[in-house]
Structure 1
């Protein structure tokens, strides 16, 4: 177990890698699927998703739903007041506006 794990004051301070390491040490390693985004640019700071990431949000949603299906989980879409508010219902190219990045 990494020494940095022992220096925690709270379980809230344990990151994902440390949590998985602890599971492995306890011989209780769960099946783990990690879905993430690799940054193309780590210097620019944005509050919104960049256009390349936003363009893949629908794919990400479908990937996560597919994983939930594989696990046998039950889910239902939350109610959407307006079809335009749901990224999964938009057609490609119909994206929101983006704020400027610095």
Structure 2
């Protein structure tokens, strides 16, 4: 597989122990398990790493973030946010993340490199406060659509991907599996 010169980082963030708060991570896991990407694309489970994400962020030209957002929509609504809209959505303080993502991006800027393009694919949560590794049924149902939206962003930025087969299975293990039957 060939790829463009742009380095693309898909960053799923959130805390998988708080229901829908882990949605971004679950999307990243889904992508890693189902797709193989060109060498210029990295899909990363950013969890709640905060400032520890500075290195991968500063090394990328295009940053695609997947997270939940409080954007006054209905649970499961998907938003593609850029610029000021991204700043407003990332600034909510009810997040379980260790460090606000905007603070991390600001630190990257101070040091000298922020990706040329930052896109947030945010989904309005149904429940982000209850302790559970399971997503709400509303967001569980949205996983394929949001994964497709991420793939479209990767393609638009110059990345390539292919479905995994028996010949190229995923090697990354998911340590905290989601159990949608426990969270109805």
1:1-102 pair list within 5 angstroms: 12=52, 15=99, 16-30=101-115, 31-79=117-165, 98-101=180-183
Instruction: Identify if the C-alpha distance between structure 1 residues 42 and 49 changes in structure 2 by more than 3 Å, giving closer, same or farther.
Output: closer
Tell which deviates more after alignment, 71-80 or 13-22: 13-22
Give unpaired runs (5+ residues) of structure 2: 1-50, 55-98, 167-178
TM-score (norm 1): 0.57
Could you say what the CA RMSD is over the residues aligned between the two structures, in angstroms?
3.0
Structure whose residues are more often helix by fraction: 1
**Whole-angstrom CA distance in 2 between matches of 1:24 and 1:13:** 13
Distance (Å, rounded) in 2 between the aligned partners of 1:43 and 1:29: 31
CA distance in 1, matches of 2:158, 2:131: 38
**Larger fraction in strand:** 2
**Residues 43, 19 of structure 1: alpha-carbon distance in 2 compared, 3 angstrom cutoff:** closer
Rg larger in structure: 1
Distance 1:98 1:60, change over 3 A: same
Instruction: Give CA deviations for 1:9-49 in whole Å, capped at 9, x if unaligned.
Output: xx638643333112222442211122333332234332222
Give the TM-score normalised by structure 2: 0.35
